[in-house]
Structure 1
């Protein structure tokens, strides 16, 4: 395939040659060359790596359903109980809502997804099975990792552990954990179960951490201990963890250095939180950092619209970025940053000026989008988009094709 007349990361007009699922040549655009069958007309659009949403709750989505009043109570437990009371109250089968949300994400440029799938004594494996079915349905359009996730904790309700283990037997890709101190109130036991199951089934770990300040650092240090003891470098992600920078500068630097040393990744949903570990310093230290949309118009929050370009804007905005190179860093995080968490074969951004993902040898997971520059694309969030996965067009004009 030849992609004609595109601007990789906003640079000069180029023609991109693909062979299967890889970029094999990037050359100056030749306007005199006739258009052949199978060529893609870039029309001068930007060429970027496709998006990677590495923190999304497909299982709780209400995308495609009527907007409703938000009724959630404060705190993880209150929000979760609100979800329990409401998630079945729709005429649309749950699996269709999940699949429709994933389809909308692909249509807007996301081809790599790590989704939570809630498993507990209320929903049992129903939500997990819906996410697994969507993964299978769109296997040719996106890489999807499914995380079995104890949203209600592991220890609070008898029977949860059995459902979690069954989901791992059925093919969950990642073992999730959540707030070991605040929710389960037994952090050592909670994390021993999480890491024990991950080791048993040879999957990665993702810890969903809302805990504040020193408490969050304490839980994180327990995670670090287990990464070292079990040799799980490169297999653990801290998600949210938005208050780890609240203690002091020495602790902040220690965590950045340790995450880099042990290849512990971070995933953010770009909250307006003042004490996050600083993004630029994390990236420059070599920490894999990804972005996600979290829940999408669900019973937890009315935010989220399946568009990672919107969430990239939010990441730049909440970090106070105005310079183009910093806004483009947010875009690099939203694309190859998350992809490098899902697959270490993907080159992660390593600094403010690093723009990976569209060079010879890179996987042809690509997004063509209208915009004067990458920064303007983040600001304007245009709709003239063509999406490629593994060198094949999977969406165009905000519609998925090839189903």
Structure 2
């Protein structure tokens, strides 16, 4: 494949050559380069069978890596269904019970909703996803199976990593650890945990189960952490202690962790240093109000940080629209970034930053100036999008988008291909 006249990370116009899903060459754009011959085009704007192989017309658009949503709940989405009034009460348990009271009333099944939303995410530029699948005494494995169906439906367009997630805790209801074990034996790839102190109120037993499942299934861990200030730090220190003792560096992600930066400067520095040392990743959803560890400092230390949309128009919240470019804007806005370098850094976090969480073999971002993913040898998971600069693309969030996964066009003009 040849992708003509694109501007990698907003740079000079280039032609990108792709073979076997990998970028093999970047050369200055040559308008006179022969590309089409007797070829015919398809619905994705791909010219087939010319002298250079398949050709994608970049038309001067930006080229950036495709998005990685490392924190979403495909099992809960209501995108595509009629808008409904928000009925949830504050707090994790109250929200969980509100969801439990309503999710079976939806017009579509979990599989239908998850498949529709994942398709919409791909259309807008996401080709890597870590999705939570709720495992509890109410739903059993039904919600996990719905997300698994969505993964299979879009297998050629997007990589989906499913997390077995005990949204209602591991200890408050009977049988949840056994259900988690079954999910991990049936295709779930990540062990989830949640608020060991405030939800289950037994952090030692909660973490015993989480790390025990991870060891049994040789799976990484993703810990949902909403706990405030010193209590959140206490839970994190218990997790760090186990990571050291069990040799699980590079196997743990902390999601949310809104309040870890609220204690004092010394604690902030210590946590960042330990996260870098033990390769503890962090997934953020760019919340409006938070005292999180500072994003630029995490990057400078080499901590892996990724971005996700969380719930998408579900029983928890009316927010979320399946567009990670929109959430990239939110990450920049909530961090009060105005400098182009920092806004572009948010794009790096939303793309290859998250990819490095899903694939520990990928390099971490180590500077707000890092712009990875578009060099020879990099995988051709790409988003072509209209914009004068990367910052303008984040601000304007245009719709002229072409999405490639493994060197193949999977969406164009906000429509799936194939």
TM-score between the two structures when normalised by the length of structure 2: 0.95
Q: List runs of 5+ in structure 2 lacking aligned partners.
A: 37-49
Structure 1 residue 171, shift from structure 2 partner: 1.7
Supply the distance in 1 between the matched residues of 2:35 and 2:283 (Cα, whole angstroms).
41
Supply the distance in 1 between the matched residues of 2:161 and 2:119 (Cα, whole angstroms).
15
Structure 1 residue 283, shift from structure 2 partner: 0.4
Give the conservation status (yes or no) of the 8 Å contact 1:347–1:357. no
1:228 aligns with 2:264: no
Supply the distance in 1 between the matched residues of 2:313 and 2:417 (Cα, whole angstroms).
25
In structure 2, the residue matched to 1:353 is 369
User: What does 1:142-161 correspond to in 2, within 5 Å?
Assistant: 142-161=158-177
Q: 2:398 aligns with which of 366, 382, 399?
A: 382
**3-state SS of 1:312 partner:** helix
Structure 1 residue 190, shift from structure 2 partner: 0.1
Give the conservation status (yes or no) of the 8 Å contact 2:110–2:147. no
In structure 1, the residue matched to 2:303 is 287
Deviations 1:322-342 (A, max 9, x none): 000000000000000000000
Structure 1 residue 274, shift from structure 2 partner: 3.6
- Indicate the larger mover: 340-349 or 111-120: 340-349
Say what the alpha-carbon RMSD is for the aligned residues. 0.7
In structure 2, the residue matched to 1:202 is 218
**3-state SS of 1:148 partner:** strand
In structure 2, the residue matched to 1:5 is 5
1:399 aligns with 2:415: yes
**3-state SS of 1:59 partner:** coil
Q: List runs of 5+ in structure 1 lacking aligned partners.
A: none
Supply the distance in 2 between the matched residues of 1:218 and 1:345 (Cα, whole angstroms).
30
In structure 2, the residue matched to 1:67 is 83
In structure 1, the residue matched to 2:21 is 21
User: What does 1:179-198 correspond to in 2, within 5 Å?
Assistant: 179-198=195-214
Structure 1 residue 232, shift from structure 2 partner: 0.7
Structure 1 residue 272, shift from structure 2 partner: 1.7
User: What does 1:44-123 correspond to in 2, within 5 Å?
Assistant: 44-123=60-139
Q: How many pairs does the alignment contain?
A: 402
1:299 aligns with 2:315: yes
Deviations 1:173-220 (A, max 9, x none): 000000000000000100110000001000000000000000000000
Supply the distance in 1 between the matched residues of 2:398 and 2:107 (Cα, whole angstroms).
33
- Indicate the larger mover: 15-24 or 147-156: 15-24
Supply the distance in 2 between the matched residues of 1:107 and 1:349 (Cα, whole angstroms).
26
1:322 aligns with 2:338: yes
Structure 1 residue 44, shift from structure 2 partner: 0.1
Structure 1 residue 346, shift from structure 2 partner: 2.6
Structure 1 residue 139, shift from structure 2 partner: 1.1
Supply the distance in 1 between the matched residues of 2:119 and 2:315 (Cα, whole angstroms).
20
TM-score between the two structures when normalised by the length of structure 1: 0.99
Give the conservation status (yes or no) of the 8 Å contact 2:255–2:282. yes
**3-state SS of 2:68 partner:** strand
**3-state SS of 2:250 partner:** coil
In structure 1, the residue matched to 2:288 is 272
Supply the distance in 2 between the matched residues of 1:326 and 1:168 (Cα, whole angstroms).
38
Structure 1 residue 345, shift from structure 2 partner: 3.0
Supply the distance in 2 between the matched residues of 1:354 and 1:273 (Cα, whole angstroms).
27
